[in-house]
């Protein structure tokens, strides 16, 4: 039998490696930015076109490369970062495997110009699909410039898996932010389709956070610092009141390398337990400085997942450092163990007249009489607050039922064929707990989550516009000026026309500002800033949808403009909500997938009394 095992050609091996290292344009940006940092750059410029599909260019003023190094750097496993296996246990650089440039060159058209500081001429290398087409001396500035064109041009199947421009641009911004936060001492800028998105000068870590996310973050974060023999911790934690339902502003760095670590994220969240709502995620930028021999970064192609020798100790130290910072800056209540345990009685006012205490007694009270309501001594002839409130609520409830019977029954239209799931015509509907609407149906009882129901209604209305600009804007009494971070501003500006079609009267106002003059007429949210924040978060989340931009905008607006939990609804509002809900294509679920309707059959109710 003939031999069947053979060595793969280099270009095939490089494309296999590219499948692990280069997954999307953001992967190329990450590798090139990290190479620039490792080269000792003090200034880095990133230029992208068409979300990185057409062009990704990274220029730095680092050390540059010699002609021999310029050609060798595109070979597999060619690196200047390590020399032997022992170096793997003391890694301080970003990259060390020598796979990035070889992988990029195998799936794109790459041109590199580089020059060392002590040389008069530089070197130009041009590669297409791992084939070197040009390598010659040239005029070049000090440092290195990489131009990556037509990513995945020779792997069309991979190119088809890329998402929309908005989603891919968001991933590129994420990688840029991670490198920028890790190195505030490096000036960085980013341009997309000719527009400057970020312009960051050198400064302190706090200045870098503010430069990336906006001036409002200067008041939203508190410093965190702790030094131990195991790990040194520095950085910032967001104040609990600014936590969000969505992730995206959680940055954890180990020796200036961005990582994802579920256990350490839990340490931060648990430190704020009781201060943030359940399910919310606080913003944080945490830097861990630890002996490289205690960290193994060589377990994942993108090196975002690492292992620690003493993970539990770091977890406890991190949680303690966050709690200490919250108490130090009076964000969380602290216990004063030196205070006296006696009652803290305020001193008497010298000008206050002294009065003899009076004891009120109900002389008619008899504990052995059953035909009278028991009263509290000193409260004779009075009704308690609880009694008055209960009486008021019962009167309101009976008034609703009476009004419901007197009014002409309203026909509740539905989009379902099964009449057993429709509220009965003329049936009494009422609100429970200021969150749920209860209505009887033929098959039992229906309970509707008013917030999820309204979100479903608004979501489908926004999605069904099809760019026809049907929504009208409700003008604000005073226009609101919003200052956004460069990234958020660029994200909103790219969807301005869609926002106007959904009922926003908004336009650019300055470098990173927006001016909002009107909101969607159906919006319950009158704070333009909070509504725009929800839209930005939805755009960042992206998601799988045939119209990702429209879907994200509709999700953000539905969340911000919907009825809030705890809002009291009138009878007409409840009926209108039910009518509009059952006109939706998917009435039983909110746009986030949560249930909007729960039904109970008589058997379900009977089981509760067993």
Same domain membership, residue 269 and residue 159: no
Q: pLDDT band at 512, cuts 50/70/90?
A: confident
H or E stretch at 270: helix 262-271
Per residue in 190-247, pLDDT tens? 999 988 889 999 999 999 999 998 888 899 999 999 999 999 999 999 998 888 877 7
Reading the block at residue 499, the tokens are: 């926002």
Of 279, 294, 328, which residue sits at a domain end?
328
- Strands 221-227 vs 131-138: parallel, antiparallel or unpaired: unpaired
- Strands 295-296 vs 250-254: parallel, antiparallel or unpaired: unpaired
Same domain membership, residue 216 and residue 171: no
Task: For residue 154, give the 3-state DSSP assignment.
Answer: coil
> Who wins on pLDDT, 356 or 504?
504
Q: In the chain, what percentage of residues exceed pLDDT 70?
A: 76
333 domain residue, yes or no: no
Same domain membership, residue 73 and residue 43: yes
Q: What is the mean pLDDT of residues 501-507?
A: 82
Reading the block at residue 274, the tokens are: 């009781």
Q: What is the DSSP string of 291-348?
A: -GGGEE-TTSTT----EETTHHHHHHHHHHHHHHHHHHTTSS----TTS-SS--PPPP
Residue 182: per-residue pLDDT: 94
CATH number of the domain bearing residue 140: 3.30.565.10
139 domain residue, yes or no: yes
477 domain residue, yes or no: no
- pTM recorded for the entire structure: 0.69
pLDDT at 594 over 60: yes
Per residue in 119-139, pLDDT tens? 999 999 999 877 888 999 999
Q: pLDDT band at 48, cuts 50/70/90?
A: very high
Q: What is the mean pLDDT of residues 308-333?
A: 87
Helices of type H across 161-233: 165-182, 205-213
372 domain residue, yes or no: no
Task: For residue 488, give the 3-state DSSP assignment.
Answer: helix
How many structural domains are present in the chain? Answer: 2
40-54, 411-425, 508-522, 581-595, range with greatest mean pLDDT: 40-54
Per residue in 445-489, pLDDT tens? 889 999 999 999 988 888 876 555 456 777 888 888 888 877 788
Contact yes or no for 55/153 (Cβ under 8 A): no
Beta strands in 338-471 (DSSP E): 430-432, 436-441, 444-449
Helices of type H across 382-449: 385-406
> Who wins on pLDDT, 392 or 169?
169
Task: For residue 82, give the 3-state DSSP assignment.
Answer: coil
Same domain membership, residue 22 and residue 73: yes
CATH number of the domain bearing residue 224: 3.30.230.10
Contact yes or no for 263/319 (Cβ under 8 A): no
Of 154, 176, 200, which residue sits at a domain end?
200
Same domain membership, residue 195 and residue 73: yes
Residue 334: per-residue pLDDT: 46
Same domain membership, residue 210 and residue 178: no
Same domain membership, residue 134 and residue 69: yes
- What length does the chain have? 610
> Who wins on pLDDT, 436 or 94?
436
Same domain membership, residue 196 and residue 221: no
Residue 216: per-residue pLDDT: 84
437 domain residue, yes or no: no
Q: What is the mean pLDDT of residues 306-323?
A: 90
30 domain residue, yes or no: yes
Residue 302: per-residue pLDDT: 60
Contact yes or no for 321/230 (Cβ under 8 A): no
Question: Comparing C-alpha atoms, which of 248, 244, 242 is closest to residue 212?
Answer: 248
Same domain membership, residue 184 and residue 147: yes
32 domain residue, yes or no: yes
> Who wins on pLDDT, 293 or 2?
293
Contact yes or no for 74/169 (Cβ under 8 A): no
298 domain residue, yes or no: yes
H or E stretch at 289: strand 284-289
Same domain membership, residue 166 and residue 192: yes
Residue 422: per-residue pLDDT: 62
Cα torsion 499, 592, 432, 571 to 10°: value is 40
Domain membership of residue 218 as a residue range: 206-328
pLDDT at 72 over 50: yes
Mean pLDDT lowest among 179-183, 359-363, 492-496, 596-600: 359-363
Same domain membership, residue 274 and residue 174: no
Same domain membership, residue 141 and residue 71: yes
Question: Comparing C-alpha atoms, which of 37, 50, 292, 85 is closest to residue 186?
Answer: 37
Of 200, 227, 245, which residue sits at a domain end?
200
**Rounded distance, CA 588 to CA 581, Å?**
9
């Amino acid at each position: 039998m003939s031999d069947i095992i053979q060595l793969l050609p280099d270009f095939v091996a490089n494309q296999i490696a590219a499948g692990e290292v280069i997954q999307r344009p953001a992967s190329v940006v990450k590798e090139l930015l990290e190479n620039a940092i490792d080269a000792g750059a003090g200034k880095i410029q990133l230029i992208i076109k068409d979300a990185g599909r057409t062009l990704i260019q990274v220029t730095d003023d680092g050390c540059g490369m010699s002609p021999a190094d310029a050609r060798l750097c595109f070979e597999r496993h060619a690196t200047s970062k390590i020399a032997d296996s022992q170096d793997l246990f003391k890694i301080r650089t970003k990259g060390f495997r020598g796979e990035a440039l070889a992988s990029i060159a195998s799936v794109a058209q790459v041109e590199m110009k580089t020059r060392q500081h002590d040389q008069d001429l530089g070197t130009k290398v041009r590669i297409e699909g791992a084939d070197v087409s040009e390598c010659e001396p040239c005029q070049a500035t000090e440092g290195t410039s990489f131009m990556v064109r037509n990513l995945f041009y020779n792997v069309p199947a991979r190119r088809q898996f890329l998402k929309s421009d908005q989603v891919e641009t968001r991933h590129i911004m994420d990688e840029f932010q991670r490198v920028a936060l890790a190195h505030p001492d490096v000036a960085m800028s980013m341009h997309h389709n000719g527009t400057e998105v970020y312009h960051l000068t050198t400064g302190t870590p706090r200045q870098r956070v503010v430069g990336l996310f906006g001036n409002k973050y200067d008041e939203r974060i508190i410093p965190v610092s702790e030094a131990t023999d195991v790990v040194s911790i520095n950085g910032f934690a967001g104040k609990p009141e600014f936590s969000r339902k969505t992730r995206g502003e959680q940055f954890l760095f180990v020796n200036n390398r961005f990582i994802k670590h579920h256990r350490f994220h839990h340490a931060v969240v648990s430190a704020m337990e009781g201060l943030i709502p359940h399910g919310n995620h606080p913003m944080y930028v945490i830097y861990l400085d630890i002996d490289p021999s205690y960290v193994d970064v060589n377990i994942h192609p993108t090196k975002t997942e690492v292992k620690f020798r003493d993970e539990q100790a770091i977890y406890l130290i991190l949680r303690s450092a966050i709690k200490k910072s919250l108490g130090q800056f009076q964000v969380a209540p602290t216990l004063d163990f030196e205070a006296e345990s006696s009652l803290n009685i305020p001193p008497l006012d010298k000008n206050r007249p002294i009065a003899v205490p009076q004891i009120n007694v109900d002389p008619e009270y008899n504990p052995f009489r059953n035909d009278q309501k028991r009263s509290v001594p000193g409260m004779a002839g009075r009704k308690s607050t609880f009694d008055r409130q209960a009486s008021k609520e019962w009167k309101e409830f009976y008034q609703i039922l009476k009004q419901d019977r007197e009014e002409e029954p309203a026909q509740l239209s539905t989009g379902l064929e099964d009449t057993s799931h429709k509220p009965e015509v003329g049936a009494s509907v009422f609100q429970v707990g200021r969150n749920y609407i209860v209505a009887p149906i033929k098959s039992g009882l229906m309970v509707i989550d008013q917030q999820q129901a309204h979100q479903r209604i608004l979501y489908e209305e926004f999605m069904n516009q099809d760019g026809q600009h049907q929504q009208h804007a409700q003008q604000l009494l005073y226009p609101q000026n919003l200052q956004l971070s460069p990234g958020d501003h660029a994200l909103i500006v790219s969807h301005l026309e869609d926002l106007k079609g959904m009922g926003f009267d908004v336009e650019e106002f300055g470098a990173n500002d927006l001016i909002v003059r009107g909101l969607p007429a159906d919006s319950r949210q009158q704070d333009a800033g909070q509504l725009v924040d929800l839209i930005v978060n939805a755009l960042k989340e992206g998601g799988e949808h045939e119209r990702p931009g429209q879907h994200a905008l509709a999700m953000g607006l539905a969340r911000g403009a919907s009825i809030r939990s705890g809002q009291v609804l009138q009878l007409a509002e409840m009926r209108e909500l039910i009518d509009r809900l059952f006109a939706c294509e998917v009435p039983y679920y909110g746009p986030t997938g949560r249930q909007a309707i729960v039904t109970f059959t008589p058997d379900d109710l009977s089981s509760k009394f067993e």
